[in-house]
Structure 1
Amino acid sequence: MAEATLSTGHRLTLQLACIAARCLTPPVFERPVEVMGLHFAAPLSIAAGFDRFGRLGRRAGALGFGCNEIGSLDLAAIAQLSARTLRPGTARLGINLSLTPDISLTALRAGLARAWPLADYLTLNLIGPRSTALLGAELRPRLRQLLAAVRSEQQHLDRPERRVPLAVKLRCLPGQVPLELAELLLELGYDGLLVAHDPGPPATRQRYHAWQTDVRQAQACAQIEQLRRLCGGQMALMSVGGIQSAEHLQARLAAGAELLQVHSVLLHAWPWHVQRLLDGGKPA
């Protein structure tokens, strides 16, 4: 969706974030992390969907975030990203790309080639409405083909002086932990797995408040622990969905996640509650 189609609250929040990023001095980060071969100044990131076309971009670092993942975008939509996406800043920039069953290998390679020079890392989104068909048994060979083609293109585009890691975003719900797909990513040599602990839209206030229960948070942490045991140190593990407090952040990190992403809390509790969350990411 274009920026004009955002809700009024979302649009105003994004505008506020952009203004604040221009006015604030980047903070002194106290908890840097090394993930996927990249240095992140802080473990907390902005999730895809908040800043879809990179209006805030790398300047999110001035707000205390270690990364800003823009998108999700169809591969053809990469051409819509303007030079502002490349503005300097202290945050890493990820681009979240939709992967669909009908994309040709030629279009796939062309889109990756356009995204590669813009991003610090790329995420293939497999939780969107058009993407989830790839997760069915009938299309599993097609999924393997596409994932292998992306890895091949990564190896073609990467240079000794600059490597762009690849991650995949998968849904992770109670009783539906994507262990088989994680094993496929390990086999193909992917750099990271981004697990989404939420069932998806609509992002209502009722569902936002539902994440404040200890049961929901413990379920997310148990899923992370299960995936961490499978991935070991071979693949980075990232978590998004339901992080609303410093306690939630610390629990996800303790469970084995290395990078955390937030979205709803930016819309429902910006900016003061978010600052408390960021402060909670500092070591005791």
Structure 2
Amino acid sequence: MYRLVFTQVLARFDAEAVHHLTVRALRLLALLPLLKRLIHRALAPRDPALRVKAFGVHFPGPLGLAAGFDKDAGCAEALAAFGFGFVEVGTITAHGQPGNARPRLFRLIRDRAIVNRMGFNNAGAQAAAARLRRPRGLPVVVGVNIGKTKVVPEAEAVADYAACAKELAPLADYLVVNVSSPNTPGLRDLQAVDMLRPLLTEVKHVAAATTRRTPLLVKIAPDLADEDIDAIADLALELELDGIIATNTTIARPAGVRTTAATRAGGLSGRPLKARSLRVLRRLRARVGDRITLVSVGGVEDVDDVWERLLAGASLVQGYTGMIYGGPLWASRIHRALARRVRRHGLKSIEEIIGRTAT
């Protein structure tokens, strides 16, 4: 039914307009506590076999929503009600900004992909903090993804990230430093270790000063050379970060992408990113072993993808484009199928398979 609605109705409208309409609907749901609880009871992961503990945080299921959908932290509860084990909000910047000029979001339907050049459009850290302080009517693990304000020069990036972290780290279950979006000029330059070290050191100091020491992760691009991936992995171990998220969208256009929208500038997500994202995960696992939590994102479409990422060493998995093409019940369906697969393999918990065949 959703596929029919998507292809015959939603696909005829501007992608960003549909996105904003969806976010508003989810925010409305958050104001209807009875309906919200009923949906949560029906769709949220509840099976004990799905529970994962990573960097000291308990997750009801391993599949979460990647950053980019809930940019202003306005609908995390509603998203959790629809079956996500956790929701990562953002990317949020210290100062509000409109993002890049529209149009800036494009569907590649035949490729099950999306190209975006949103540019960290958000209302800023203070506005997001106000929303995150509101009492929650549902249990939800909320990660907060932070990025650089576009107008802030590179020389002031550390202070900009730190200011954002001071607002949001106390309110987050975990904090993510995003230095890998292709849509903010110069942002990916911060992935160079000599620039990344002082940035992560300062943000880690902020996160560690919170009442419960907020876990800190870094999100990397899929377009890094292998030696740069190794260098960031080594830096994460050196600084004792809590995790690495791999990967963000790609500026590459893999062979076989058929939709003409792929020629537009921006980050590509979805099915064409699947192979590269998995290769980066496996390289990270080989480099860090089980000394740091790995979160895999990029091209995750179904339960087979989630299972493969867990076997390759990820403790948690994220999706976004998969939900756009899979519909509102996407996360719930995957979690249910995952629980059945765990038991079919004679296991009691999903944690028994994490990294089982990683090399």
TM-score band, normalised by shorter chain: 0.7 to 0.9
In the alignment, what sits opposite 1:191?
242
Q: Which amino acid aligns with 2:299?
A: G
In the alignment, what sits opposite 1:127?
180
Q: Which amino acid aligns with 2:89?
A: I
From the superposition, tell whether residues 205 and 59 of structure 1 become closer, same or farther in structure 2 (CA, over 3 Å): farther
String of CA shifts for 1:19-45, please: whole Å, max 9, x gaps. Answer: 374651333522010011111111011
From 11, 34, 37, the equivalent of 2:20 is 11
Superposition pairs of residues 64-213 of structure 1, within 5 angstroms? 64-76=83-95, 77-81=124-128, 83-86=130-133, 87-88=135-136, 89-99=138-148, 101-103=154-156, 105-128=158-181, 129-130=184-185, 131-136=187-192, 140-155=193-208, 157-159=209-211, 162-173=212-223, 176=226, 178-196=229-247, 198-200=249-251, 206=259, 212=271
1:229 and 2:286 matched: yes
C-alpha RMSD of the superposition: 3.1
Task: State whether residues 70 and 96 of structure 1, in contact with CA within 8 Å, keep that contact through their aligned partners in structure 2.
Answer: yes
In the alignment, what sits opposite 2:70?
51
String of CA shifts for 1:57-106, please: whole Å, max 9, x gaps. Answer: 24432211111111101123211215433442222111100147333655
Q: Distance in 2 between matches of 1:154 and 1:210?
A: 29
Q: Distance in 2 between matches of 1:110 and 1:219?
A: 33
Q: Distance in 1 between matches of 2:219 and 2:281?
A: 14
From the superposition, tell whether residues 198 and 25 of structure 1 become closer, same or farther in structure 2 (CA, over 3 Å): closer
**What TM-score do the two structures reach when normalised by structure 1?**
0.82
From the superposition, tell whether residues 21 and 281 of structure 1 become closer, same or farther in structure 2 (CA, over 3 Å): farther
1:267 and 2:318 matched: no
Q: Distance in 2 between matches of 1:205 and 1:274?
A: 27
1:246 and 2:296 matched: no
Equivalent residue of 1:239, what SS? strand
* Identical columns (%): 27
From the superposition, tell whether residues 50 and 200 of structure 1 become closer, same or farther in structure 2 (CA, over 3 Å): farther
Q: Distance in 2 between matches of 1:265 and 1:21?
A: 23
Equivalent residue of 1:124, what SS? strand
In the alignment, what sits opposite 2:58?
39
String of CA shifts for 1:235-262, please: whole Å, max 9, x gaps. Answer: 1100111101111111111111111111
String of CA shifts for 1:180-234, please: whole Å, max 9, x gaps. Answer: 11111110111010011640599x9947x99557xx6454333322211212222
Task: State whether residues 87 and 141 of structure 2, in contact with CA within 8 Å, keep that contact through their aligned partners in structure 1.
Answer: yes
Task: State whether residues 60 and 90 of structure 1, in contact with CA within 8 Å, keep that contact through their aligned partners in structure 2.
Answer: no
From the superposition, tell whether residues 9 and 107 of structure 1 become closer, same or farther in structure 2 (CA, over 3 Å): closer
Task: State whether residues 63 and 317 of structure 2, in contact with CA within 8 Å, keep that contact through their aligned partners in structure 1.
Answer: yes
Equivalent residue of 1:117, what SS? helix
Q: Which amino acid aligns with 1:80?
A: A
Equivalent residue of 2:304, what SS? helix
1:24 and 2:42 matched: no
Q: Which amino acid aligns with 2:222?
A: C
**What TM-score do the two structures reach when normalised by structure 2?**
0.67
